[in-house]
Amino acid sequence: MDVSLIIQQCENLLHDLSLSYVKEWKDKNNSQAIGYMPVYIPRELVCAGGMLPVGIIGGGDEVEVIRGDAYFQSYICRIPRSTIELGLLGNLDCLDGFLFPAICDVIRNLSGMWKITFPQKYVKYIDFPQNFSNIGREYYKKELLLLKTDFENITHKKITSKDLSQAICLYNENIKWIQKLYDFRSEKPHLVLTYELYLLMRASLILDVREHTQLIKDYLHSVENEKRPLRDYVRVIVTGAFCEQPPLALIRALESSGCYIVDDDWVLGSKYYTQDIPLLSDPIDSLVSAYCDFAVSTASRFEESKNKGHYLMKQIKKYKAEGVIFAAPSFCDPALLERPMLQDILTKNKIPHTAFKYAENTGQIQVIKEETGTFADSIKLWGET
């Protein structure tokens, strides 16, 4: 398939706030769909139940928040207000349940708001362990077993070990191709445009995992033949954007300001573990391992100072990044509290960095573009590489 057609398909999914794909999928498969907010959600378990996991990460810059503003004060980030707006508009009616991960107090409290506002829906707050020893693993396993029972009650169908193992294989395959996409992007950043990569990743939130894997395969196959010029851009990593997403226009602007973004943490829920989930005799243990042993580092996961920054430094090395851009949503406590710690580590390691804040509906792109453009120029002019 032609690259432009693939990207057009992804863009259509991004703009389809009424979730037509989800409704069609449900009709076709005579099944249910479960929504989730970003990061660390065990989508494999949803898939094992024969349901469609649907990532909802706000309404972006396309939703005019009217009623949502009556739910949140001005000093709270935008993602919960646009999400609740979507709910109140009925756009999320096709979701049969909603999972809220333990990533910050706002998303945590949103789970309670959802219970009150949509009492007919299944709502679950998933408290991931912050203690990764056996005690934490045991706790998480019990939480996952409860979640499995809840899913069985929704679908009226048992989830067998075989179902879950098959789902894990599907997601392992997906992660493998996402990894190939990122590696190719790093190798030939001029071919894989940042906004294309972003749209491909956004599609992972909606599409059936099999379709998404195929989409990446098709894209990689086609993009190799694209004739795109190699530009004198610097290689950077963007971090801090794991929850509320920057608008697409901002993502385009970052690249055109002179930055090849060789790694990022947006749409992180679709690539939150760093390697294949091991297939253990009890596949629930595999999910525990995915979170406890192989999950990527984020500001929402407890990390002792001896380990702080290791993941970022590893990514910098792996992708030969020349600098780091801290892009955090306004009022995002986890990302903004994490930032000074990581900045300190980068400074000690002489890695250039810059920072800005955004909201999912940020319109003032030019200011940020000038900032990152200057950052790129400074690396080109005075950088060591």
Partner 1 sequence: MQNQPAATLKEDSMVLQKKMLADHYHKLSQAKEFGKKVVYTFVPGNLNELIWAFDMLPVHPEINALQAGMRKKSGNYVLEAEKHGHSEDVCTYVKCDIGMLKQGNIGPTGEKLPPPDLLLLSYTGCFTFLKWFELLQQEYHCPIAMLHVPYQGDGKITPSMIEYVVGQLKENVIPMMEKVSGKAMDLDKLQAYLDSSKRAEENLVYIWDTAKHRPSPIDAYFGGVYYIGPIFTAFRGLDECERYYELLKQEINERITTKSGPITPDGEFNDQKFRIVVEGPPNWTSFREFWKMFYDEKAVVVASTYTKVGGLYELGFRHDAKRPFESMAEYCLGCYTNRNLPNRIEILEKYMSDFEADGFLINSIKSCNSFSAGQLLMLRELEKRTGKAGGFIESDLVDPRYFSAANIKNRLESYFQMLEARRK
For binding to partner 1 (CB under 8 A), which residues are involved? 70-73, 75-76, 80, 100, 102-106, 108-113, 115-117, 124-127, 129-131, 133, 135-136, 138-139, 142-143, 299-300, 302-305, 308, 328, 330-334, 336-341, 343-344, 357
CA dist., res. 49 & res. 46, Å (int): 5
Tokens encoding 335: 């990302």
- What is the DSSP track for 24-70? HHHHHHT--EEEE-SSS--HHHHHHTT-EEEE----TTTS--SSGGG
Q: Hey, is 202 helix, strand or coil?
A: helix
For the CB of residue 94, give the shortest distance to partner 1 in the complex, in Å.
23
For the CB of residue 358, give the shortest distance to partner 1 in the complex, in Å.
12
Nearest residue (CB) to partner 1, 17 versus 76: 76
For the CB of residue 93, give the shortest distance to partner 1 in the complex, in Å.
20
For the CB of residue 339, give the shortest distance to partner 1 in the complex, in Å.
7
For the CB of residue 306, give the shortest distance to partner 1 in the complex, in Å.
9
Nearest residue (CB) to partner 1, 28 versus 348: 348
- Give just the sign of the alpha carbon dihedral 259, 260, 266, 267: positive
**Rounded to the nearest 10 degrees, how much is the dihedral formed by the CA atoms of 211, 214, 215, 219?**
180
Nearest residue (CB) to partner 1, 73 versus 225: 73
Nearest residue (CB) to partner 1, 46 versus 77: 77
Neighbours of 293 (CB within 10 A): 14
CA dist., res. 237 & res. 263, Å (int): 5
For the CB of residue 79, give the shortest distance to partner 1 in the complex, in Å.
11
CA dist., res. 142 & res. 305, Å (int): 29
Across the beta sheet with 33-36, what order do the strands follow? Answer: 52-55, 33-36, 97-101, 122-126
Nearest residue (CB) to partner 1, 108 versus 176: 108
CA atoms within 13 A on the CB side of 209: 26
What's at 295, amino acid-wise? A
CA-nearest of 86, 71, 116 to 22 is: 86
Nearest residue (CB) to partner 1, 115 versus 121: 115
For the CB of residue 330, give the shortest distance to partner 1 in the complex, in Å.
6
Nearest residue (CB) to partner 1, 234 versus 342: 342
